[in-house]
Amino acid sequence: MNTKTAEQLKDIVKEKYGQVAEQTTSTGCCGSSCGCDNVNDAVMADDYSKLQGYVAAADLKLGCGLPTEFARMQAGDVVVDLGSGAGNDAFIARSIVGPGGKVIGIDMTEKMIERARTNASNLGFTNVEFRLGDIENLPLASNVADVVVSNCVLNLVPDKAKAFEETFRVLKPGGHFSVSDVVLKGNLPDRLQQDAELYVGCVSGAMDKDGYLRIVREAGFTNVQVQIEKKIPLPEATLSQYLKDHELKQYQENAFGVFSITVYAEKPEKNAACCGPSCCNN
C-alpha cells in the first residue's frame, strides 16, 4: 500500500468517526453513517452495560468485542487504550485500575478526543487522559504501559505491523495487550475488501486471521492467544451488492467470512531470552 493511499484511508476514517462523535445517539460502527448499510449494533458491538465503570455517554457502540473484560488488568496499572473514541473502554479500565492507576486514551480523530475529554471532565475523572495521536506513531514514551487494550480499531490502521511494533514499544517488559479486532477467514472477494466505505465500517481493511497473528508474533510478542472468536453475520442485502450469486453461496457455507477475535499477547520480560552471565545479572 503506498503512502498516499494510506493517508486517504485515514482521512476517510477521521471524517466518518468525526461524524459519529458529533451524534447525540449511539449508531454503532456499522450504522449507515459509517458505511456498512444497516448492520445493526447487536451484530458487532458487545454489551458493555453490565460492566463495572460503564458510562452510557461514552458508549457509541463502535466495538466488536470486550477486550477490557479479558485484559487481566490490576489495581495500579497504567493502561493505554488505542482508538479510545468517546472513552468507553478507558472508563471501564479506570474502574479496574483504581485511583492508583492511570488510563491514557489515544485517538486520531479530534472530535472523538473532544467528546472523551468532555465525558471525563463531566465525571470528575482525574486519572484518565486522552491524547490526539496516530497508532502507527504513538505519542507515548517507551515502556510506560502495563496493559494495552483496543476495540475494533487496528483493522482500520493501514500499517498494522507498525501499529503492533508501537504497541510493543510502549509496553513495559512483562506487560501485555488484549485487542478485539475484525479479521477474515478464506478469500473475501476484492470488491468487498477494497470498498472505502466498508473499510471504515466493518470489513475492508481487515486482514487474514493467520497473517494478523503472524504480525503480532513478528513484532516480538509471545504467548499469543485468541481469547474469543465469533463470526460476524453480515446481512445478505449488504453482501449482495458486492458478491455474485456463487460467491454469496460460498459465504453462506462458511468458505470465507468475517470474524471478531479478541487476542492476548505478552511483551517478554527484559533479558528473558538471555541466560549468559553478561545479561542475567544486570
Average pLDDT over residues 67-95: 96
Average pLDDT over residues 114-118: 95
pLDDT tens track for 209-229? 999 999 999 999 999 999 999
Determine how β-strand 128-132 pairs with β-strand 102-107.
Answer: parallel
**Dist CA 235 CA 240 (whole Å):** 9
Sorted by where each begins, the domain ranges of the chain are 3-266
Task: Give the number of C-alpha atoms closer than 13 A to the C-alpha of residue 201, restricted to the C-beta side.
Answer: 27
Least confident of 6-15, 29-38, 232-241: 29-38
3-state secondary structure at position 120: helix
Q: What is the CATH number of domain 3-266?
A: 3.40.50.150
pTM score of the predicted model: 0.83
Whether 12 has a pLDDT exceeding 90, the answer reads no
Q: At residue 172, what are phi and psi to the nearest 5 degrees?
A: -70, 150
Predicted pLDDT of residue 72: 97
Whether 170 has a pLDDT exceeding 90, the answer reads yes
Q: At residue 46, what are phi and psi to the nearest 5 degrees?
A: -80, 165
Whether 235 has a pLDDT exceeding 80, the answer reads no
3-state secondary structure at position 165: helix
